[in-house]
Amino acid sequence: MAAPAQTEEFGRSGRRVLRPRLRRTVAPIAEARGMTRTMLWAGIAITLFFILVAFLAPVISPYEFDQFRADGRRFAQLEAPSADHLMGTTVQSTDVLSRVIWGTRTELEVVLVSLLLSLSIGVPLGLISGYFGGRLDRVLVLLMDAMLAFPFLLLAIVIAFLLSGSIGRGILTAAVAITVAYIPLYFRVIRNHVISIKEESYVEAARALGARPFTVIRKYVFFNVIQNVPPLATLNAADAILLLAALGFLGYGIQPTEAAEWGYDIQRAVSDTASGIWWTGVFPGLAIVLLVTGLTLLGEGLNETINPVLRKRPKVKVELPTSIAEAETP
């Protein structure tokens, strides 16, 4: 029984290798039980919902994000939620529901760009620094530690502030400001993992066979290290949304004329609270809470299914084959 399975595992044809590998990757997710399972699926559902909203924004949104009049008539200012405006209107007469829907798109776009940027810088740097060590490693670690020590909101504000002068305040500025805060995180996780994997015997064997450093990194180190990334990236995406909203709240996010952004909307709503107007701030706020909760559940769920320290397996009832059972009861 064992022999064919082994040839399939180590076979040269790509497709044969892929299937067990895929099954091994997905298996923990399917095996997840109890709370972990609930968390994982709730996270997937919420995240998918927001992705869907972002894609369908032009179809489902009743108005444009900055539209304040329709049919030649200006919307009422600060109108309470009604049939015309399900979530009410803001002080600029824009429709809150439309702003929340279009905001989803902005939020996901920025987070996606910043994740891609920080992964494509942090991961290679971590791989190289961890694998080659030496002086470059020491300098990079010192630099990244210094960046990590800095309150990342402040770092992001300063970057956004500096960039706003030269490249404007669009999605790219916000994404870069967030990216700078996350590069050190990926760098550190990847580097530390590479250092421990470097000493494994299979890596040493590859080196002994004369594989070049980049071949070793690509074929043996990379796939082992990259497993840590999905939970971390999901949790970071959650964090990045909070950071973007914070930037928007402080007035260093996206230019209000370019796109709707939840943090900016909440900032505008703070002055409404004194007169008891709740709908301008509560709806964008709830959107943030829900999306971040979804991503966090997904990330934590993934972490618990992939991280063996936290993983809980279902208890399987052991049934002895009858022959053994009979042999044991004389």
Partner 1 sequence: MAAQGTSLRQYALTRLALVIPMVLILLTMVFLLMRVAPGDPITASLGGRVPQEVVDEIKHNLGYDKPIYVQYGNYLGDIARGDFGTTITDRREVTDIIRVNGAATLELTFFAMIVAIVVGVVVGLFAGRFRDSSMDVGGRLFGIVIYATPVFFLGLLAQLFFGSYLGWLPTSDRASPITQATLETHTNIFTIDALIARDRDAFVDVVRHLILPAVTLGLVTAGIFIRLIRVNVIRTMKDDYIEAARARGVSERSVVYHHAFRNALVPVITIIGLTMALLLGGAVLTETTFNWPGLGHTLIVYLQNRDYAAVQGIIVVFALVVVAVSVIIDFVNAYLDPRIRY
Residues near partner 1 (CB under 8 A): 34-35, 142-143, 145-147, 149-154, 157-159, 161-162, 165-166, 238, 242, 245-246, 249-252, 263, 266-267, 269-270, 273-276, 278, 281-282, 285, 288-290, 292-293, 296-297, 300, 309-310
**Cβ atoms within 10 A of the Cβ of 192, count?**
15
Cα-Cα-Cα-Cα dihedral of 294, 300, 304, 306, to 10°?
90
In angstroms, what CA-CA distances link 132 with 197, 200, 225?
13, 15, 15
Closest separation between CB of residue 268 and partner 1, Å? 11
Closest separation between CB of residue 294 and partner 1, Å? 9
Is the CB of 27 or the CB of 289 nearer to partner 1? Answer: 289
Q: Using alpha carbons only, what angle is made at residue 169 by residues 168 and 174, rounded to the nearest 5 degrees?
A: 125
Closest separation between CB of residue 156 and partner 1, Å? 9
Is the CB of 158 or the CB of 226 nearer to partner 1? Answer: 158
In angstroms, what CA-CA distances link 305 with 50, 84, 194, 228, 237?
23, 45, 22, 12, 19
Is the CB of 224 or the CB of 293 nearer to partner 1? Answer: 293
Closest separation between CB of residue 26 and partner 1, Å? 24
Is the CB of 226 or the CB of 250 nearer to partner 1? Answer: 250
Is the CB of 238 or the CB of 260 nearer to partner 1? Answer: 238
Closest separation between CB of residue 176 and partner 1, Å? 13
The rounded Cα 227 to chain-centroid distance in angstroms is 14
Is the CB of 102 or the CB of 252 nearer to partner 1? Answer: 252
d(CA 46, CA 51): 9
Closest separation between CB of residue 252 and partner 1, Å? 8
Closest separation between CB of residue 143 and partner 1, Å? 6
Closest separation between CB of residue 204 and partner 1, Å? 28
d(CA 251, CA 157): 9
Q: 130 and 199 in contact (C-beta within 8 Å)?
A: no
Is the CB of 131 or the CB of 283 nearer to partner 1? Answer: 283
CA-closest candidate to residue 41, choices 232, 33, 227: 33
The single-letter code of the amino acid at 236 is: N
Helix/strand number for the chain, H first, E second: 14, 2
The single-letter code of the amino acid at 93 is: S
Is the CB of 72 or the CB of 276 nearer to partner 1? Answer: 276
Long-range contacts from 64-71, C-beta under 8 angstroms, 24+ separation: 64/98, 64/102, 65/94, 65/98, 65/99, 65/102, 65/103, 65/259, 65/260, 66/94, 66/256, 66/257, 66/260, 67/94, 67/95, 67/98, 68/92, 68/93, 68/94, 69/93
Closest separation between CB of residue 3 and partner 1, Å? 37
Is the CB of 18 or the CB of 146 nearer to partner 1? Answer: 146
